[in-house]
């Protein structure tokens, strides 16, 4: 019955700048759970405060259509029909593009091409593109600049001595590992409640309060807080609000066909996007981001972000996320050492997979259970097979 009550609260919720009711706060605490996330992951604007990213007056339609997924992929020692992957890996939406044309497009669980899906940590890759644009424009001088050169308020904090390169490659040494479980009743848990549950404080609130655990520039440790700091740097460097800079320099030039939106945290003038996990867009517009990266920063006949930035973000050198790891990490993108494929990845199965070798872009929006590594591994096997598929 608890989930019936949570979904009822969802249906009644509208975006507001006020501290939400207890019912909505409870919904926010549980929106990631597998009993409800098949729905909540495409209803974020009914659960959290949000702000739109407006699309422009012109968008070139994506051409093509849906074809049967007439291939198999290998997983756990057996060949699996590709059509089975949709249910096996808890998929809400799937788009496969070959040579610029859609060859498969599926929507499930009350979604369609107009639904806007939560990106989770694919949001970090969006932030990466914006950082690249700011560098192209000379508004960020270098990734070797100190964070405190842009945010002097962080002098004396754990981010004092951290470079932008440290932050965008997850080597800051700050004591905020996303994999750590925050114990109820601790100051860290209370801080997270203020940001994500009540929205009383912006995500940047955490940056000046986190402790240091290691010198900057050392080991890789994945932390969404680093993206929060990079988004803050972006605002200071450009003199614009994050969403305004994104609208003018990425979303409208990209030819997005629909408004996107960001989850917001904080009150009044201090409210800011949750830049590390709170982006929401249609599956087709996520595909446009993938095509932008596949086409070396070009879309709609113009260079939106430099070819140099795309190469630097996706071709290496690679920062391994652990010794001997299958994947690397570079500038908020996941890379594949020794292979050209790269991807934006988000918690619980959100993916933009790009393979330049086969000119393939795959968007998969999912509702995996938190920590379901098997579904994630199976999705990767599906992507590799779909990339090799002829698409007809």
DSSP state letters, 257-325: SS-EEEEEESSGGG-EE-TTT-EEE-HHHHHHHHHHHHTTTEETTEESS-HHHHHHHHSS--EESSTT-
Candidates 278, 267, 352, 280; CA nearest to 314 is: 352
CA distance 226 to 221: 10
Predicted confidence band at 17 (pLDDT cuts at 50, 70, 90)?
low
* Mean pLDDT to the nearest integer, 158-178: 95
User: Does position 367 have pLDDT exceeding 70, yes or no?
Assistant: yes
* Mean pLDDT to the nearest integer, 199-222: 92
User: Does position 14 have pLDDT exceeding 70, yes or no?
Assistant: no
User: Does position 212 have pLDDT exceeding 70, yes or no?
Assistant: yes
Predicted confidence band at 1 (pLDDT cuts at 50, 70, 90)?
very low
Candidates 265, 158, 151; CA nearest to 210 is: 158
* Mean pLDDT to the nearest integer, 304-319: 88
Whole-number pLDDT of residue 317 = 60
> Can you tell me which residue has the tokens 């096997």?
381
* Mean pLDDT to the nearest integer, 255-261: 98
If one compares 196 and 121, the residue with the highest pLDDT of the two is 121
The pLDDT > 70 percentage for the chain reads 92
* Mean pLDDT to the nearest integer, 354-359: 98
User: Does position 208 have pLDDT exceeding 80, yes or no?
Assistant: yes
> Do 198 and 19 touch, CB atoms closer than 8 A?
yes
User: Does position 357 have pLDDT exceeding 70, yes or no?
Assistant: yes
Tokens of 241: 């609000």
Whole-number pLDDT of residue 179 = 72
CA distance 324 to 338: 13
pLDDT tens track for 112-129? 999 999 999 999 999 999
- Counting every residue, how long is the chain? 392
User: Does position 325 have pLDDT exceeding 80, yes or no?
Assistant: no
In 158-282, alpha helices (H): 164-168, 187-192, 224-238, 242-246, 252-254
CATH of domain 2-64+115-285+301-353: 3.40.710.10
Locate the domains of the chain by residue range. 2-64+115-285+301-353
- With H, G, I as helix, E, B as strand and everything else as coil, classify residue 80: strand
Tokens of 96: 């496969």
């Amino acid at each position: 019955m608890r989930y019936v009550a949570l979904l009822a609260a969802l249906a009644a919720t509208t975006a507001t700048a006020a501290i939400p009711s207890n019912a909505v706060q409870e919904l926010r605490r549980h929106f990631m759970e597998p009993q409800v996330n098949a729905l909540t992951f495409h209803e974020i604007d009914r659960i959290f405060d949000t702000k739109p990213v407006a699309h422009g007056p012109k968008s070139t339609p994506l051409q093509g259509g849906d074809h049967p997924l007439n291939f198999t992929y290998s997983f756990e020692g057996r060949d699996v029909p590709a059509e089975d992957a949709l249910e096996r890996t808890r998929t809400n939406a799937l788009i496969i593009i070959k040579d610029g044309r859609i060859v498969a497009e599926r929507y499930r669980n009350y979604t369609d091409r107009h639904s806007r899906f939560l990106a989770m940590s694919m949001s970090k890759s969006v932030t990466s593109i914006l950082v690249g644009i700011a560098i192209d424009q000379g508004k960020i001088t270098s990734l070797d600049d100190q964070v405190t050169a842009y945010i002097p308020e962080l002098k004396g904090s754990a981010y004092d001595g951290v470079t932008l390169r440290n932050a965008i490659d997850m080597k800051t040494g700050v004591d905020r590992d996303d994999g750590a479980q925050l114990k109820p009743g601790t100051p860290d848990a209370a801080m997270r409640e203020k940001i994500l549950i009540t929205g009383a404080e912006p995500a940047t609130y955490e940056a000046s309060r986190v402790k240091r655990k290691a010198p900057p520039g050392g080991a890789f440790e994945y932390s969404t807080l680093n993206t929060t700091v990079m988004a803050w740097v972006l605002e200071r460097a450009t003199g614009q609000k994050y969403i305004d800079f994104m609208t003018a320099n990425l979303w409208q030039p990209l030819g997005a066909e629909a408004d996107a939106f960001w989850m917001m945290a904080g009150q009044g003038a201090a409210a800011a996007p949750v830049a590390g996990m709170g982006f929401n867009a249609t599956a087709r517009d996520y595909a446009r981001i993938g095509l932008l990266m596949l086409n070396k920063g070009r879309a709609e006949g113009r260079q939106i972000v430099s070819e140099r930035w795309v190469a630097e973000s996706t071709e290496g050198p690679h920062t391994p996320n652990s010794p001997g790891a299958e994947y690397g990490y570079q500038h908020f993108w996941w890379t594949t050492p020794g292979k050209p494929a790269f991807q934006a990845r988000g918690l619980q199965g959100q993916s933009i997979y790009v393979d330049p070798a086969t000119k393939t872009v795959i968007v998969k929006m999912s509702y995996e259970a938190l920590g379901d590594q098997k579904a994630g591994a199976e999705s990767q096997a599906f992507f590799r097979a779909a990339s090799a598929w002829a698409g007809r």
